[in-house]
Structure 1
Amino acid sequence: MTDYDVLRVFCAPGGAHGNELGVVREGSLLPSREERQEFAAKLGFSETVFVDDPERGVIDIYTPTLRLPFAGHPCVGTGWLLDVPELVTPAGPVGVRDDGEFTWIEAHADWAPPRTLRQYASAAEVDALDVPPPGEWVYAWAWADEAAGRIRARAFPGRDDGIREDEATGAAALLLTARLGRALNITQGRGSQLLTAPQPYGLVEVGGRVRLMRG
């Protein structure tokens, strides 16, 4: 069995919740896309990262069924794990910084895969949602406190790959931040926390806490 780390990304204060992430530090052990896709499907996490160059931060990202040019929680988690100032993804270079509590990435929102951002009238409505049928990637959100920039969100990938609800989704948070044009404090899923802020030149920063579960 190929060795891999398991992280939780975008944890709540105190370290609970967060979205699980598999990271294969020795990507050369599974060099082909077919091998990587098969391994990502076997692990069953919403995303698995294969590190091709740990010093330069070159990474390759897979869901259980497809390869992604960019994704948020894999970049935050792998940036924390490798402790590098930049990650190199197929979409482009992703800046990384760590402030001691949160690990932050900076990326272009248009690198994020397409998402339907669906606003609801209240956080309670978002909480009450049933998982929709497969077919559409839906990011359901509502203001919890608009003046404070606090958002309640849930994410439904709709890929029919076993991930019915995504616990914490950095790419969707980037898209929502770009649309709203302001910093956000997002509570997603069971209680994960994502912080975001628009940056110059079309960039958006997203940050969260990372915990190592297996390494």
Structure 2
Amino acid sequence: MTDHNVLRVFCDPDGRHGNELAVVRDGASVPGESGRQELARELGFSETVFVDDPERGLIDIYTPTLRLPFAGHPCVGAAWLLGVPRLVTPAGVVTVHRADGLVWIAARAAWAPPRTLREYGSAAEVEALPVPPPGEWVYAWAWQDEAEGRIRARAFPGRGDGIDEDEATGAAALLLTAHLGRALTITQGRGSQILTAPGPPGRPAGRTGAHDTIEVGGRVRHA
């Protein structure tokens, strides 16, 4: 098996939970899209990152069934592992900063794959949802505390690739932040935590557009 690191991205404040991510630091050891897709399928994580240039932060992202131009939790995890100030993805350059034990990335909502954002009336409703049959990619969410920007969410990729539910999904959190136009603290899955903020600082309140920058941050640990 190809050497790789396994990280947990978007852990809670106590370092628990988080979405597992595989990072192949020597991307050259797996050349070509078909070989990378095969390895991502074999590993079975929701995403696998191949690092093509660690100094420049050049990365390539795959789910078990497709290549992604951008994804949130792979970028946060790769940025933490590589210690770089930016990442280069097929979608564009993702800037990185660190503060208070968190790694933050800044990306555009237009880079995120399409997601259905489905609001529910309460956190209890979200927690009680069964996994839907394969089909659309659904981000189910509800306010836990609207005044404080606290949200309960679950993510159902609907791809039929063995990943029935995503533990923590940065791209969907980015889209929800653009939709609501405000900073959020999202508890997803079993208890993973995603922090977000519209950018740049000082933007007036209100919904942001697809080309506006959104920051997504979280804690990362080795699995």
> Scaled by the length of structure 1, what TM-score is found?
0.98
Note if 1:210 corresponds to 2:211: no
SS state of the match for residue 163, structure 1? coil
Q: Which residue does the alignment assign to 2:12? A: 12
Could you say which residue in structure 1 is the equivalent of 2:81? 81
Question: Hey, what's the Cα distance between the residues in 1 that align with 2:37 and 2:135?
Answer: 21
The answer for the alignment partner of 1:115 in structure 2 is 115
Q: Which amino acid aligns with 1:171?
A: A
Residue segments in structure 1 that go unaligned for 5+ positions in a row: none
Amino acid corresponding to residue 221 of structure 2 in structure 1: R
Name the structure 1 match of 2:166. Answer: 166
Task: Please give the secondary structure, in 2, of the residue aligned with 1:209.
Answer: strand
Instruction: Name the residue aligned to 1:180.
Output: 180
The offset of 1:100, in angstroms, is 3.8
- 1:172-215 deviations in whole A, cap 9, x for unaligned? 000000000000000000000000000037100000000012xx
2-structure distance, mates of 1:43, 1:30:
13
CA shift, 1:46, in A, is 0.1
Corresponding position of 2:206: none
Aligned residues: 213
Does 2:90 align with 1:90? Answer: yes
Q: State how far apart, in whole Å, the 1-side matches of 2:151 and 2:118 are.
A: 13
Aligned to 2:197, what secondary structure does the other structure show? strand
> Displacement, 1:99?
1.1
Measured on the aligned residues, the alpha-carbon RMSD in Å equals 0.7
Partner of 1:147: 147
Percentage identity across paired residues of the two chains = 76
User: 1:98: Cα distance to partner?
Assistant: 1.2
Aligned to 1:56: 56
Aligned residue for 2:175, secondary structure, equals helix
Q: 1:3, 1:32 → 2: CA distance? A: 17
Q: Which runs of 5+ in 2 are unaligned?
A: 201-210
Say which SS state the counterpart of residue 134 (structure 1) adopts.
coil
1:33-72 pair list within 5 angstroms: 33-72=33-72
Match of 1:104 in 2: 104
State the match for 2:29 in structure 1: 29
Aligned-pair CA distance for 1:101: 1.1
Return the alpha-carbon distance in structure 2 between the equivalents of residues 162 and 141 of structure 1: 22
The more displaced of 98-107 and 47-56 is 98-107
Instruction: Give the superposition deviation at 1:22.
Output: 0.1
The letter for the 2-side match of 1:23 is V
